[in-house]
Structure 1
Amino acid sequence: MTDNVVLLNSRLSHLTPVPPSTDWGRVLADWLATKRSHHTRRVYRRDIDNFLSDIDMELGKFLSLDRHGAYALVSRYKGELIQKGLKSATINRRLAAIKSLVSFSYNCGHCDFMLESVKGEKLSAYRDTTGVDPETFKRVLGGIDRGTLKGIRDYALMMLLWSNALRRSEVSKASIADFDPVAKTLRIFGKGKGNQSEIISLGIGTVTAIESWLTARGEVNPDKSLFCSINPGYRDGRLSTQGIYDIVKSRCQDAGITKVMSPHRIRHSSITAALEATGGDVRRVQKLSRHSSLNTLLIYDDNRKNHQGEVTDLLDSLI
Structure 2
Amino acid sequence: MTSIHPENLSVLENSLALAIGEDFSLENDPDVIQQLIGDKRSENTKREYQKDLKDFFLFVVKKEPSRDLVLEFLHLEQRHAVAVVLKYKAHLIKKKLAEATVNRRLSAIKSMVEMGRRLGVCNFSLDDVKGERVETYRDTTGIPATDYAKVIALVDQNTLKGKRDYAILRLLWDNGLRRNEIVNLNVRDFNAKEKTLSILGKGKGSQKEVLDLSDKTASSLASWIKASKKKRGDDPLFTVLAYHKNGARLTGEAIRRLVDGLCKQAGITKKMSPHRVRHSAITTVLDLNNGNYRATQRFSRHAQVQTVLKYDDNRQRLQKQMSDSISELI
Contact 2:160–2:224 (8 Å) recurs in 1? yes
- 2:37 corresponds in structure 1 to 32
**Which protein shows a greater Rg?**
2
Cα 1:9/1:140, change in 2 over 3 Å:
farther
Of 200, 210, 235, the residue aligned with 1:199 is 210
Q: Counterpart of 1:48 in structure 2: which amino acid? A: L
Q: Secondary structure at the match of 1:157?
A: helix
Matched, 1:19 2:26: no
Of 277, 291, 299, the residue aligned with 1:280 is 291
Mean Cα deviation higher: 257-266 or 93-102: 257-266
Matched, 1:134 2:139: no
Q: Counterpart of 1:55 in structure 2: which amino acid? A: V
Matched, 1:189 2:200: yes
Map 1:145-224 → 2, pairs under 5 A: 145-224=156-235
Give 1:159 shift. Answer: 0.4
Q: Counterpart of 1:277 in structure 2: which amino acid? A: L
Alignment deviations for residues 127-148 of structure 1 (CA, whole Å, 9 cap, x no partner): 2212111000000001112232
Runs of 4+ in structure 1 deviating by more than 6 angstroms, as ranges, are none
The aligned length equals 310
Map 1:1-319 → 2, pairs under 5 A: 2-3=14-15, 16=26, 18-19=28-29, 26-56=31-61, 58-319=69-330
- Distance, in Å, in 2 between the alignment partners of 1:241 and 1:103 is 30
Mean Cα deviation higher: 90-99 or 107-116: 107-116
Contact 2:188–2:234 (8 Å) recurs in 1? yes
Q: Counterpart of 1:18 in structure 2: which amino acid? A: N
Mean Cα deviation higher: 173-182 or 256-265: 256-265
- Distance, in Å, in 2 between the alignment partners of 1:261 and 1:9 is 58
Q: Counterpart of 1:142 in structure 2: which amino acid? A: A
CA RMSD of aligned residues (A): 1.9
Q: Secondary structure at the match of 1:110?
A: coil
Q: Counterpart of 2:212 in structure 1: which amino acid? A: S
Alignment deviations for residues 201-227 of structure 1 (CA, whole Å, 9 cap, x no partner): 000011111111111111111111111
Give 1:311 shift. Answer: 1.4
Q: Secondary structure at the match of 2:97?
A: coil
Give 1:69 shift. Answer: 0.6
Q: Secondary structure at the match of 1:73?
A: helix
Give 1:299 shift. Answer: 1.1
Give 1:3 shift. Answer: 4.8
Contact 1:185–1:202 (8 Å) recurs in 2? yes
Q: Which runs of 5+ in 1 are unaligned?
A: 21-25
Q: Secondary structure at the match of 1:18?
A: coil
Contact 1:18–1:27 (8 Å) recurs in 2? no
Contact 2:32–2:70 (8 Å) recurs in 1? no
Give 1:172 shift. Answer: 1.2
Contact 2:113–2:125 (8 Å) recurs in 1? yes
Q: Secondary structure at the match of 2:231?
A: coil
- Distance, in Å, in 2 between the alignment partners of 1:259 and 1:151 is 24
Contact 2:82–2:126 (8 Å) recurs in 1? yes
Contact 1:17–1:108 (8 Å) recurs in 2? no
Q: Counterpart of 1:54 in structure 2: which amino acid? A: F
Q: Counterpart of 1:146 in structure 2: which amino acid? A: Q
Identity of aligned residues (%): 40
Contact 2:297–2:305 (8 Å) recurs in 1? yes
Q: Secondary structure at the match of 1:191?
A: coil
Alignment deviations for residues 108-132 of structure 1 (CA, whole Å, 9 cap, x no partner): 1222211111110111222221211
Mean Cα deviation higher: 35-44 or 120-129: 120-129
Q: Counterpart of 1:170 in structure 2: which amino acid? A: E
TM-score of the aligned structures, taking structure 1 as reference length:
0.92
- Distance, in Å, in 1 between the alignment partners of 2:27 and 2:228 is 48
Contact 1:177–1:223 (8 Å) recurs in 2? yes
- Distance, in Å, in 1 between the alignment partners of 2:186 and 2:261 is 24
Give 1:280 shift. Answer: 0.6
Cα 1:204/1:220, change in 2 over 3 Å:
same
